[in-house]
Amino acid sequence: MLAEFLTDWPMWASLVVVCAAIGFYMADRWSMELVSVCVIAALLVLFTLPGAHGEDGAPITAQDLLSGFGNPALITIMALLVVGQGLFQTGALEGPTKALLSGYDRRPMLTLLLAFFAVFAISAFVNNTPIVIMFLPVMSAIAQRMKTPASRLMMPLSFISIFAGMTTLIGTSTNLLAAEAFQRIDGRQLGFFDQTPMGLILAAAGMIYLLIFSRFLLPMREGLTEDMAPTSSKQFLAQIEVTHGHFLEGKKPVAGMFLDLPDMTVRMIQRGERAFLPPYEDLALQPGDLVIVAATRGAIQNVLARQPDFLQQVWQAAGGDLDEGGRPRRLSLTEAVIAPGSRMVGRTVEMLGFRRLTRAVTLGIQRRSRMIRSKLGEIRLESGDTLLMCGPPDAFLELRQSRDLILLEWSQTEIPLTGKALAPRIIALILVVTAASGILSILHASVLGAVAMLVTGCLNYRQASRSLDLRIFLVIGAALAMGMALEKTGAAGMIAHSVVNLASPFGTLAVLSSLFLAVALLTNLLSNAATAILFSPIALSAAAELHVADPLPFLLAVIYGANCSFATPIAYQTNMLVMGPGHYRFGDFVRFGGPLVFVLWCVFTLFASWRFDL
- Residue range 71-83, pLDDT digits in tens: 776 787 678 778 8
> pLDDT band at 589, cuts 50/70/90?
very high
What's residue 200's pLDDT? 95
Distance between CA atoms of residues 332 and 393, nearest Å:
6
Worst-scoring range by mean pLDDT, 1-10, 213-222, 551-560? 1-10
C-alpha angle 518-590-470 in degrees, rounded to nearest 5: 105
> pLDDT band at 573, cuts 50/70/90?
confident
Q: Best-predicted range by mean pLDDT among 401-410, 443-452, 522-531? A: 443-452
Is pLDDT above 80 for 430? yes
Query: Can you list the pairs that 37-46 forms with residues at least 24 positions away whose Cβ atoms lie under 8 Å?
Result: 37/474, 37/478, 39/478, 39/481, 39/482, 40/65, 40/66, 40/477, 40/478, 40/481, 42/17, 43/14, 43/17, 43/481, 43/482, 43/485, 46/10, 46/13, 46/14, 46/17, 46/485
What's residue 543's pLDDT? 80
Residue type, 450: A
pLDDT tens digits, 160-173: 999 998 998 877 77
Is pLDDT above 50 for 231? no
Count of residues for the chain? 614
The answer to whether the CB of 404 falls within 8 A of the CB of 343 is yes
Work out the average pLDDT over 517-523. Answer: 88
What's residue 597's pLDDT? 96
Instruction: Provide CB contacts within 8 A for 327, sequence distance 6+.
Output: none
What's residue 161's pLDDT? 93
Count helices and strands in the chain by DSSP H and E runs: 27, 8
Inter-axis angle of helices 128-146 and 94-101, nearest 10: 50
Is pLDDT above 80 for 612? yes
Identify which of 76, 14, 100 has the alpha carbon closest to the alpha carbon of residue 485.
14
> pLDDT band at 306, cuts 50/70/90?
low
What's residue 4's pLDDT? 55
What's residue 210's pLDDT? 95
Identify which of 246, 254, 245, 253 has the alpha carbon closest to the alpha carbon of residue 269.
253
What's residue 20's pLDDT? 87
Whether pTM exceeds 0.75: no
Worst-scoring range by mean pLDDT, 1-5, 115-119, 245-249, 474-478? 1-5
What's residue 324's pLDDT? 46
Between residues 12 and 596, which one has the greater pLDDT?
596
Which run of H or E residues covers position 309? Answer: helix 308-317
> pLDDT band at 592, cuts 50/70/90?
very high
What's residue 380's pLDDT? 86
Between residues 595 and 419, which one has the greater pLDDT?
595
Worst-scoring range by mean pLDDT, 60-64, 222-226, 453-457? 222-226
Is the C-alpha dihedral spanning 478, 480, 486, 489 positive or negative?
Answer: negative
pLDDT tens digits, 113-141: 888 998 898 888 766 776 787 788 778 87
Average pLDDT of the chain, as a whole number: 79
Between residues 233 and 12, which one has the greater pLDDT?
12
Work out the average pLDDT over 288-315. Answer: 74
The answer to whether the CB of 166 falls within 8 A of the CB of 561 is no
What's residue 23's pLDDT? 79
What's residue 104's pLDDT? 67
The rounded Cα 587 to chain-centroid distance in angstroms is: 19
**In the chain, pLDDT over 90 holds for what percent of residues?**
12
Between residues 311 and 209, which one has the greater pLDDT?
209
Worst-scoring range by mean pLDDT, 84-88, 140-144, 408-412, 478-482? 408-412
